[in-house]
Amino acid sequence: MTTTANHPDPGSPDRPLPVVAVTMGDGAGVGPECTVSATLDPQVQRICVPVVIGDRRRLQQAAAVLGLDAEVVAVGSPAEAVVAPGRINVVDLGLLPEDLPWGQLSAVAGDAAFHYVRTAAELAVAGRVQAICTAPLNKEALHLGGHRYPGHTEMLAELTGTSEVSMMLSSPRLKVIHVTTHIGLVDAVAMIEPGLVERTVRRGHEALTRSGIPHPRIGVCAINPHAGEGGLFGYGEEEEKIVPALERLRADGVDAAGPLPADTAFYLAGRGDYDLVVAMYHDQGHGPIKVLGIEAGVNITVGLPVIRTSVDHGTAFDIAGTGRVRTESMVEALRQAVELASVG
């Protein structure tokens, strides 16, 4: 198959393939290897036009590490991209030195990773790509490079002028959306309030309906163990911070159960009772997802004016440049980006 960014999907003559900007992530980590493997995947090339935002030379090095015969072609814009077996299209920002070591913290790589995301966001806001899929960056390298963000989620919110977004993690067995993410636990409890809970649930509900679930069943976690056990644990946070939001949501027809003890909520979701779990803070939601299989997990930023998905793993410096990284998560992130773009 050979198609261009403007050519229709052969299986759907009237609908063009969506163009996905794939950011390469931290060039010293596994991002380049994930990017090469995923963009060459026949499944990915059948459903979209992947255009890497990154460094052509580093992608060539990653292909060599993986033992893949890839033609890495620099394009001036996504519209010039051509999908063909063995071909990788890249908007080459040329920000990395040729001798950048694998697996080592680098301010240069952190700065480059920021500019890959910035460029992808600009392309998406301008409508030149239909979605963004991000390979992992390293937060410490990002900070060393002069960009003080907790991660992709907050970065993309600022770059797109979005005041509030949510992190959703998706795995084959479980989907989780977070009320709070990259802040300390004490600060998270203080930040949680009915309006934030309600907006988070609504963003999750909208994301699931977009992905083809017309009436999502949502389980909402409590903050305290046993959902406070009638006042035995905590200081009435569930009644104060969560219950008013759930009352408003149910009045609008949203199927939101809770507040539920977190251990119960995840058990019930795992057996299929809920399509989505709402976690109150970072580790409450991340733990179960990663136990169920980080390799196939996908991170979706919900609430942006653009579609963004990502792998749910880090830069893995310990195996970067060895060819041992598993790329299922990157392929799945691209698939979900296309799914969301196709119904947008």
pLDDT the model gives residue 4: 53
Per-domain residue ranges of the chain: 1-162+304-344, 165-302
| Alpha helices per DSSP H over 11-138 | 31-40, 42-47, 56-66, 107-125
**How many CA atoms lie within 13 Å of 168's alpha carbon, on the beta-carbon side?**
29
User: Per residue in 17-62, pLDDT tens?
Assistant: 999 999 999 999 999 999 999 999 999 999 999 999 999 999 999 9
User: Per residue in 123-155, pLDDT tens?
Assistant: 999 999 999 999 999 999 999 999 999 889 889
- Write the DSSP string, 25-59: --TTTTHHHHHHHHHH-HHHHHH-EEEEEE-HHHH
Domain 165-302: state its class. alpha beta
8 A C-beta contact, residue 239 and residue 218: no
Same fold, 1-162+304-344 and 165-302: yes
pLDDT the model gives residue 42: 96
8 A C-beta contact, residue 218 and residue 276: yes
User: Per residue in 189-216, pLDDT tens?
Assistant: 999 999 999 999 999 999 899 888 999 9
pLDDT the model gives residue 313: 84
User: Per residue in 283-300, pLDDT tens?
Assistant: 999 988 888 765 667 889
Q: List CB contacts of 137: < 8 A, sequence separation 6 or more.
A: 25, 26, 29, 31, 110, 113, 114, 117, 151, 152, 315
pLDDT the model gives residue 10: 40
* Coil vs helix vs strand at 71: strand
pLDDT the model gives residue 12: 52
1-162+304-344: CATH topology is Isopropylmalate Dehydrogenase (3.40.718)
164-179 mean pLDDT: 90
Q: How many residues does the chain have?
A: 344
The DSSP symbol for 182 reads S
Instruction: Give the span between the Cα atoms of 259 and 278, in whole angstroms.
Output: 10
pLDDT the model gives residue 8: 45
Q: How confident is the model at residue 338 (pLDDT cuts 50, 70, 90)?
A: very high
Peptide bond into 259 cis (omega under 30): yes
pLDDT the model gives residue 295: 60
User: In this prediction, what percent of the chain has a pLDDT beyond 90?
Assistant: 79
The single-letter code of the amino acid at 285 is G
pLDDT the model gives residue 56: 98
Instruction: Give the span between the Cα atoms of 236 and 227, in whole angstroms.
Output: 9
pLDDT the model gives residue 98: 96
